[in-house]
Amino acid sequence: MQIQQNGMTVWFTGLSGAGKTTICRAVEQSLRSQGYRVEVLDGDIVRENLTKGLGFSKADRDENIRRIGFVAHLLTRNGVIVLVSAISPYREIRNEVRHKIGNFIEVYVNAPLKVCEERDVKGLYKRARAGEIKNFTGIDDPYEPPTQPEVECRTDKENLQESVDQVLSTIQKHSLESQFQLMNHEVYEEKI
Ligand code: ADP
């Protein structure tokens, strides 16, 4: 079954190991099971193809986000719910993408560095501490937290389901608001 839906981009930002992929995949599963059209742009996968060759300087990180944002924008305007999971450490480029896309929810997946490091899901923190990886976010590269995210998931304090529920309810609220705007727009057009 395919249902009527407005496109939007849900952008998960946070440190490596904060829980972006885990929450994003659970949200994807839930939305798909309800019949929504969803696409996931996962930072790690994107860096294997769309942004292959880009490194981890500020310029390259910004270009990585700009390209992901471009694809997210195309999908969003074609009615897809786009879930982006990427560290995206710089505030300015996140805001640039937000303004380009318009229908945008920023999810700050927040766990203290200490917790992310203890989890060390991919063993990357250990390597970064050993100096084997340079420019690693949180260790020797900056992370600028969102100042006004639509959602903040404290994954050190809440369980996965709590984080997922928060994101889903914000998507639902946002979706209702944009449908309302669309309806108002149609009423306005009818009057002309
Ligand atoms: P990221 O994509 O941000 O690098 P991952 O999702 O790959 O992070 O890893 C996060 C880890 O934290 C996983 O092992 C996950 O099981 C764990 N975790 C613990 N609590 C939570 C939570 N509330 N939300 C998401 N992940 C959690």
CA of 144 to the centre of ligand 1 (A): 19
In a domain, 74, yes or no: yes
pLDDT, one tens digit per residue, over 16-41 is 999 999 999 999 999 999 999 999 99
Distance between Cα 183 and ligand 1 center (Å): 38
Helix H or strand E segment including 184: helix 160-191
Extract the tokens encoding 171. Answer: 């998507």
2, part of any domain = no
Which residue from 30, 121, 124, 168 has its CB within 8 A of the most atoms of ligand 1, so it is best to mutate? 121
Known catalytic residues are 88
**Nearest ligand 1 atom to alpha carbon 154:** 23
Classify residue 83: in a domain, yes or no. Answer: yes
How many angstroms separate the alpha carbon of residue 156 from the centre of ligand 1? Answer: 9
Give how many domains the chain has, as a whole number.
1
Q: Is residue 129 part of a domain?
A: no
Domain assignment present for 133: no
Residue range(s) defining the domain that contains residue 56: 8-111+142-187
Count Cβ atoms below 10 Å from residue 189 Cβ, excluding itself: 8
Q: What CATH number should be reported for the domain holding residue 48?
A: 3.40.50.300
* Strands 8-13, 81-85: pairing kind: parallel
12 within 8 A of 85, measured Cβ to Cβ? yes
Helices 20-33/160-191 angle, 10° precision: 60
What pLDDT is attached to residue 93?
A: 98
Residue 117 within a domain: no
For 109-141, write each residue's pLDDT tens digit.
999 999 999 999 999 999 999 999 999 999 999
Residue nearest to atom 19 of ligand 1 (CA): 155
Q: What is the mean pLDDT of the chain?
A: 93
Is residue 85 within a helix (H) or strand (E), and if so which, with residue range?
strand 81-85
pLDDT digits (tens, 9 = 90+) for 88-102: 999 999 999 999 999
Residue 154: its H or E element: strand 151-154
**122 lies in some domain:** no
Which protein residue has the closest C-alpha to ligand 1 atom 24? Answer: 160
| Distance separating alpha carbons of residues 4 and 19, to the nearest angstrom | 30
Query: What does the alpha-carbon distance between residue 107 and residue 150 come to, in Å, rounded to a whole number?
Result: 6
Q: Is residue 135 part of a domain?
A: no
